[in-house]
Amino acid sequence: MTDEEKSAAKQEAQDKATAAKEAINNARTNDAVTQAKENGTTEVTNVDPQPEAKNAAKKAVEDALAEKIKAIEANNDLTDEEKATAKQDAQDKATAAKEVINNARTNDAVTQAKTEGTTEVKQCDPQPEAKNAAKSSRRCVS
């Protein structure tokens, strides 16, 4: 979770605890106090923050990777070995980007890591070296 997500979750829990204390203070009977306490405890316990920024950023990187792998597979000018190397390169860049995202502490840092990571993956541009070399080495014989 980013610092902003943690802060928001803490604030939500604090707000629910404050509301529970207020309900307890306003209760007029023992049963009402008990009920307010139980309701408040449940409300605070139900605060379940989810790391949305990081998950969305990692999904963007994974989507860019899937798109790049599809493009690599569709490139018939590449040999199987060149395709495998290119896919591994794209995978390595995606893995590195997701690690940076996991280590980011703020939403801005997550956004920056996502942008840089998806760009790196998309820029994997394998060139068909083996087939091009074979084509250029052909000579006309008379």
Per the CB < 8 A criterion, the answer to whether 131 and 80 are in contact is no
First and final CA of the chain: distance in angstroms? 70
How far apart CA 26 and CA 39 sit, in angstroms, is 14
| Number of other CB atoms surrounding residue 42 within 10 Å | 11
Q: In this predicted structure, what is the pLDDT of residue 118?
A: 97
Q: In this predicted structure, what is the pLDDT of residue 138?
A: 54
Q: In this predicted structure, what is the pLDDT of residue 127?
A: 84
| Spans of the chain below 70 pLDDT | 130-142
Q: In this predicted structure, what is the pLDDT of residue 85?
A: 94
**What is the pTM for the complete model shown?**
0.69
